[in-house]
């Protein structure tokens, strides 16, 4: 028995943290568990459903294991966070966003507090507000505070050593406590107003300022009353620009998640006092499932001294939500809720954060180096002849065995190449036969490609072994060389043995010509995502075309049923108007103006096209860049 096997047998049934090490003693993964024995041993179960890439590598890279037993799940979370920050393990989710967002600091223990900008909050007893997502937003906030609430802006050193008032005092934006005897209570009232303003508590602040304004006016201190009036106006304008997020006037952080394969964007939406004040995107790569990823990220984010709100809204339930909530409550000094919203305003907030995550994700494309790495892994795992810079995917679509069409979509370096999208009508196959259809389409594609010297690096067939064999036969018939060929079979539901097991799905499978069993790529890997995205796009493109043709044929057959409209008049109408949509939009006079059409027939046709049964027929869009009429053998798009 090896040392590692002995350690696995001796694992305790207690909460704690485990550290996985390689042969050099370097820590490659840190994890926490409620029960160390059950959690660690689950990595080595043959029937494990854990699809993370590093789990499949453990038998090659894991050499030693170390555990640290703690008393509670909360302590395990704390220790896990500290060890991840200290050792930066290779396989852990790591919050590597070095950008520290701006916060405002207000030291209320000072007789004359001032607002200052900081990047990292500290546990020093001061009040912190934010974070603010941009320098412009924090400058706007400081401008309002300095103009209407008149707190000092100078440093403590300047406050003690200055002998003459600064320019801000001369323009009426600072009472100059550095030089003049300013009443501490009056200054304190301004500080309290600033706190209410920064917390977004508009109601109490406006009421307070209005009462002070009225009191100053009664004392005939109109200058002070006018200053308070300006504060109220500025405050109301500032609050109008902030979107009301929820009826609960509390602080919330809302985590939105968007991912494509291993690329992930988390967007943290900041809600302060019920109003949205900003947000922050975090980008990283990981193949961890959503629950484990969210828990690790939240633990690291708040462990880095970031502001802890009253509520943390998450897109997925973490593994240990109670322990996480207890940890954050202890850090904040009051109860913090950590949960996945199910209804109401908070669901809308989560959807908003998710949309922002998707937008931030789309703005950050893969680097050239990352793309090359994806293509290299795809080449190695599928045993391809060369890097698949240009990939084409083919799909067959039909409606109950009729209206058979095919689609071709393409990508260059994993990004869609829409200029090389094509749609095909089958010429030789008249009945539902996917294998014969695939053979015809690939024969036409290879014939054109050989003639023009235009062939892709890799062709992906939507289907299994049968479709792959048909495509390979087309390659052999035309003696095509230098093009790799694979088939991608869709995931499907599996039969479960027990009724309460829930729905299970098979993995996506890739079939090769010279291999009996399919290749199972990691289900969250970028290389599988590149293939499945292209396959799904081919399916969408084919089925859209097939449905348009079916609708077109349906209306054409209905036109034949209009009394007086035969083959000659139908052809004349299509020639004159160019599409069925324009025929529907034509007036009676326009229809009557067509050759061979008369007023009586035109009226019957117009009434037919606008009858309730036909009014909602959706015809082919004449502005569609790929018109059905011009798709013989995939003519290039205009």
Q: What residue spans define the domains of the chain?
A: 3-87, 102-240, 253-362, 371-542, 561-630
Which residue(s) pair with 32 in the sheet?
A: 17
Tens-place pLDDT, residues 341-387: 998 888 888 988 898 888 788 766 667 788 888 899 999 999 999 99
Question: Taking phi first (over 0 means left), then psi (-120 to 50 degrees means alpha), and beta for anything else, what does residue 633 get?
Answer: left
Question: Closest Cα partner for 414 from 260, 299, 542, 524?
Answer: 260
What confidence tier does 557 reach under pLDDT thresholds 50, 70, 90?
Answer: low
pLDDT at 626 exceeding the cut of 50: no
Domain 371-542: assigned CATH number: 3.30.420.340
Instruction: For the chain, give the percent of residues with pLDDT over 90.
Output: 18
Mean pLDDT to the nearest integer, 481-493: 88
Q: What is the largest CA-CA distance in the chain?
A: 102
Q: 318 near 289, Cβ under 8 Å? A: no
Q: 346 near 246, Cβ under 8 Å? A: yes
What's the whole-model pTM score? 0.52
B/e letters for 231-256, b = 16+ CB within 10 Å, e = fewer, are bbebbeebbeebeebbeebebbbbbb
**Both structure tokens of 18:** 């485990």
Tens-place pLDDT, residues 265-314: 898 888 877 777 777 888 887 878 888 888 888 888 887 777 888 999 99
pLDDT value of position 103: 79
Least confident of 19-23, 299-303, 392-396: 299-303
What top-level class would CATH report for the domain 3-87?
alpha beta
pLDDT at 107 exceeding the cut of 70: yes
Instruction: Supply the DSSP symbol for 251.
Output: -
Q: Where is pLDDT greater, at 71 or 452?
A: 452
What confidence tier does 620 reach under pLDDT thresholds 50, 70, 90?
Answer: very low
Least confident of 66-70, 164-168, 231-235, 265-269: 231-235
Q: Where is pLDDT greater, at 512 or 172?
A: 512
pLDDT at 629 exceeding the cut of 60: no
pLDDT at 409 exceeding the cut of 90: yes
pLDDT at 553 exceeding the cut of 80: no
Domain 561-630 coded CATH 2.60.40.10:
no
pLDDT at 234 exceeding the cut of 70: no
Same fold, 253-362 and 371-542: yes
Q: How does the average pLDDT of the chain come out, rounded? A: 80
506 CB contacts (<8 Å, ≥6 apart)?
491, 492, 493, 494
Instruction: Supply the DSSP symbol for 177.
Output: T
pLDDT at 158 exceeding the cut of 90: no
Q: Which fold has domain 253-362?
A: Nucleotidyltransferase; domain 5 (3.30.420)
């Amino acid at each position: 028995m090896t040392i590692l096997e002995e350690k696995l047998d001796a694992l305790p049934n207690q909460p704690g943290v485990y550290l996985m090490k390689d042969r050099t003693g370097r820590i490659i993964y840190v994890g926490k568990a409620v029960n160390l024995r059950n959690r660690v041993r689950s990595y080595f179960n043959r029937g494990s459903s854990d699809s993370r890439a590093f789990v499949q590598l453990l038998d090659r890279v894991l050499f030693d294991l170390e555990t640290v037993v703690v008393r509670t799940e909360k302590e395990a979370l704390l220790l896990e966070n500290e060890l991840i920050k200290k050792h930066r393990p290779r396989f852990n989710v790591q919050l590597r966003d070095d950008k520290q967002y701006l916060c405002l600091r207000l030291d209320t223990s000072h007789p004359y507090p001032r607002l200052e900008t900081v990047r990292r909050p500290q546990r020093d007893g001061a009040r912190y507000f934010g974070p603010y997502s941009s320098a412009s937003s924090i400058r706007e906030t400081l401008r309002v505070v300095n103009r209407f609430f008149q707190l000092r802006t100078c440093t403590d050193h300047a406050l003690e050593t200055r002998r003459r008032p600064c320019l801000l005092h001369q323009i009426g934006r600072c009472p100059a406590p550095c030089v003049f005897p300013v009443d501490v209570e009056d200054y304190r009232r301004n500080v309290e107003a600033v706190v209410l303003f920064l917390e977004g508590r508009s109601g109490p602040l406006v009421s307070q300022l209005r009462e002070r304004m009225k009191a100053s006016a009664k004392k005939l201190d109109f200058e002070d009353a006018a200053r308070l009036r300006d504060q109220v106006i500025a405050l109301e304008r500032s609050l109008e620009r902030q979107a009301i997020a929820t009826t609960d006037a509390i602080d919330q952080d809302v985590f939105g998640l968007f991912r494509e394969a291993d690329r992930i964007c988390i967007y943290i939406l900041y809600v302060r006092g019920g109003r949205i004040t900003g947000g922050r995107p975090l980008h990283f790569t990981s193949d961890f499932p959503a629950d484990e990823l969210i828990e690790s990220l939240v633990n690291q984010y708040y462990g880095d001294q970031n502001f802890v709100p009253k509520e943390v809204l998450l897109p997925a339930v973490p593994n240990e939500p109670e322990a996480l909530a207890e940890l954050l409550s202890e850090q904040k000094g009051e109860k913090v809720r950590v949960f996945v919203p199910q209804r109401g305003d908070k669901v809308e907030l989560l959807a908003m954060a998710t949309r922002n995550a998707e937008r931030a994700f789309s703005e950050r494309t893969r680097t050239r180096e990352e793309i090359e790495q994806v293509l290299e892994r795809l080449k190695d795992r599928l045993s391809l002849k060369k890097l698949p810079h240009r990939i084409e995917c083919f799909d067959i679509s039909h409606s109950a065995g009729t209206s058979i069409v095919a689609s071709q979509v393409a990508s260059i370096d994993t990004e869609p190449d829409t200029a090389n999208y094509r749609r095909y009508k089958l010429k030789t196959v008249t009945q539902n036969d996917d294998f014969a259809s695939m053979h015809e389409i690939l024969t036409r594609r290879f014939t054109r490609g050989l003639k023009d010297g235009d062939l892709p690096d890799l062709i992906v067939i939507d289907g299994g072994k049968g479709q792959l064999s048909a495509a390979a036969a087309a390659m052999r018939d035309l003696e095509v060389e230098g093009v790799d060929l694979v088939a991608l079979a869709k995931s499907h539901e599996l039969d479960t043995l027990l009724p309460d097991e829930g729905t299970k799905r098979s993995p996506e499978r890739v079939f090769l010509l010279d291999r009996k069993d399919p290749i199972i790529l990691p289900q969250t890997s970028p290389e599988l995502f590149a293939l499945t995205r292209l396959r799904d796009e081919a399916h969408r493109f084919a089925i859209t075309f097939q449905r348009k043709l079916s609708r077109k044929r349906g209306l054409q057959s209905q036109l034949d049923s209009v009394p007086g409209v035969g083959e000659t008049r139908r052809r004349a109408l299509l020639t004159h108007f160019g599409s069925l949509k324009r025929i529907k939009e034509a007036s009676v006079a326009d229809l009557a103006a067509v050759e061979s059409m008369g007023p009586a027939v035109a009226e019957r046709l117009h009434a037919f096209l606008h009858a309730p049964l036909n009014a909602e027929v959706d015809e082919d869009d004449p502005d569609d860049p790929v018109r059905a009429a011009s798709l013989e053998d995939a003519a290039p798009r205009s």
